[in-house]
Structure 1
């Protein structure tokens, strides 16, 4: 699939992509060794190594040593390396960690990262008040992943996702639950809980964090959010509290969507690709419902799927940024990577990614791009400590589900704990 000739790509597209060999070190400059670490699947490991090999072929004198890890404990291990002065030159990083690393002086300001092939808002995702410390690799938005095959089995029509409300969602989910087999549900979770609370706040004209990193969610907001989730799970006939609690120990393919236990689940849009492979079904992305039933009120946003960052301690800042430019902006890397790390941030690389794309890849691409083109906001980088919010929200939702805390007490202590995490 990735080997298809790029002769179908116009000359204008090729010229618009960053020339990958510009400004590189040569053998005469002496050998440069860069360490690069990332997480992901076995397929990502193979894809990344192919890009490294291509970069090295075009830039003799620069060697990139890959340090591949799985996702478990990735950032914990990176923190240990940073503390010990042994951080890789280049590393993959998620947005909840970027500002934290930047604020503690662990990252190099990316003054030579080429953003000319990106929408301004997408390029600016890696900015803090002090400068650009993240190179946006990809973008993504949240969505409801639906399995039309399960809707058909249940004799339930897919909703019109431009007009449906939360009441519609609950009614459809309950109908699916009644008509599907034992152990199957219309919906099993509301999705990633940090994303869920942010979506709920944004549907009410608010947000989770402000531009300067302060927590905008009040105790009253938290109470209303927890009540909303509990009411929705009851009306939509979600599974038991113990079922939901156990989901954190199940992988994506073994989760409710991948195992065909649920007809709908909230996820990041590009995760429909591995979910399609897991189910063997053709999945569909739905916009989230809202209170009003107007699609413009559903609170969607664009975020970075991931960033690349450079250690402030690197001995080769120019070559490190040269590699990042190649990886994100070059046609060669785009042909190899396609949508492995999400919808490419470089708009020209997106066209290459769509060559010979699967139905699932096209669905994810068109969905995320539709959110982007609708002018939906991007969100500010989470403040230091923001990476703890998902765990905190998940834990207090669990406390309420099991009856171990009242909504009022959970809301107060949840907000207090988040504020403490933010320092």
Structure 2
């Protein structure tokens, strides 16, 4: 998923003239106290249904507590949140992403939760790895909602109807292109393209780089790849696009970083890319049975996947009811009553006790997610270096430049040069 369309300077200043103009709905504008909370997340309608059901149960068991909820798509979420944080009136309960956690934590926008560990937050059984994945500079800034990994989501029946076996674990990048091109020549009807265009997908680009022993960013906060890497990436997709293996530029441009606007969901492609926690949402919106498998791999390359917190639940640093907010977080991630309602839609729960309680009640799509995480082990390496401040702006640049290349307004070489120049400019501001 992508986009942090407001720049780092905007993050600090955007709210100065807008602090009195909340962007959430009117019911979410209540002043927070011990009984009134505001909660926000990004995601699909399925995520919203589950979350609201769990929140209502929390309200019912905590007399006097009311939670005003709001959700939206990824693209809208981050600019709105940045404006609210800068204005000092963000929601108490914030769904946070690993990419942005470091930036928000180091700016003092979200609250360290260490003071609640062992009391309000009873998440010790998450283990050191999961706790560290939600920590910055030795302090805990969120509760891991679930473990997930990035992969390939396919309508396997569409592939087989075209006489081609769908991608699976261990499929190489070369094989993926060959399969996609063959599918494009054989398929009929609307779903005539094998694949979405992944050229603007930062998560997929990251897997491409990791397999080559590189990364989006290095440990010093600089870029972890060279112009030649980006050129090769854009060229791969340009050739696949030309061969009819992935959707054309005008179809990919319909994608707005939501499951609903995916080329797979819209019926233009047999395959798209997403995090494992999104699989349930994809299946909800797609009639054919879907499958999830690993990203393409590099022949003799390094493991190009990693397990990360799918999201985390954090507390706004200026919340007037931080302990009640922490209590709601605990209810959703560690108490069976709340966590079982959320299921695996946000990822496989970090708590072994919750996983054990959840497995017997899993439906087919949820079971697929758990199986995927288990089967991915041979392809999993360590977490990459943390994204630096400004990484969201670079993500936005990748999306824009990939579209310029797709529409042939730029060559892969020029697109790569533009991407690195813009990325270095953004990072230099830090």
What is the match of residue 193 of structure 1?
Answer: 201
**What's the CA shift for 1:60?**
4.2
Gaps (5+ residues) in structure 2? Answer: 1-32
1:95/1:64 Cα in 2 relative to 1: closer, same or farther (>3 Å)? farther
1:185-216 CA-to-partner distances (Å, cap 9, x unmatched) read 12232276111221111010111123443322
Aligned equivalent of 2:364, options 359, 364, 384: 359
Aligned equivalent of 1:45, options 36, 39, 48: 48
TM-score (norm 2): 0.82
1:191/1:303 Cα in 2 relative to 1: closer, same or farther (>3 Å)? farther
What is the match of residue 26 of structure 1?
Answer: none
TM-score (norm 1): 0.83
In structure 1, what is the Cα distance between the partners aligned to 2:274 and 2:362? 21
Point out 4+ residue stretches in structure 1 off by more than 6 angstroms. Answer: none
1:236-255 counterparts in 2 under 5 A? Answer: 237-244=245-252, 246-249=253-256, 251-255=258-262
Count matched residues.
389
The answer as to whether partners of 1:191 and 1:266 remain within 8 angstroms in 2 is no
Task: Say whether residues 1:265 and 2:267 are aligned partners.
Answer: no
What is the match of residue 418 of structure 2?
Answer: 413
Structure 1 vs Structure 2 CA RMSD: 2.6
SS of the counterpart of 1:155?
coil
The answer as to whether partners of 1:147 and 1:263 remain within 8 angstroms in 2 is yes
What is the match of residue 70 of structure 1?
Answer: 72
In structure 2, what is the Cα distance between the partners aligned to 1:336 and 1:355? 13
The answer as to whether partners of 1:192 and 1:266 remain within 8 angstroms in 2 is no
1:336/1:239 Cα in 2 relative to 1: closer, same or farther (>3 Å)? closer
1:74-98 CA-to-partner distances (Å, cap 9, x unmatched) read 2222222222221222211222322
1:86-235 counterparts in 2 under 5 A? Answer: 86-111=89-114, 112-113=116-117, 114-129=122-137, 131-159=139-167, 161-162=169-170, 164-183=171-190, 184-190=192-198, 193-235=201-243
SS of the counterpart of 1:253?
helix
**What's the CA shift for 1:375?**
5.0
What is the match of residue 391 of structure 2?
Answer: 386
In structure 2, what is the Cα distance between the partners aligned to 1:258 and 1:148? 14
SS of the counterpart of 2:311?
strand
Gaps (5+ residues) in structure 1? Answer: 1-29
SS of the counterpart of 1:284?
strand
1:108-143 CA-to-partner distances (Å, cap 9, x unmatched) read 111024442224322222111252212211222111
What is the match of residue 280 of structure 1?
Answer: 287
1:258/1:35 Cα in 2 relative to 1: closer, same or farther (>3 Å)? closer
1:121/1:322 Cα in 2 relative to 1: closer, same or farther (>3 Å)? same
SS of the counterpart of 1:144?
strand
In structure 2, what is the Cα distance between the partners aligned to 1:82 and 1:132? 19
Which has the higher Rg, Structure 1 or Structure 2? Answer: 1
**What's the CA shift for 1:232?**
4.0
Task: Say whether residues 1:327 and 2:329 are aligned partners.
Answer: no
What is the match of residue 25 of structure 2?
Answer: none
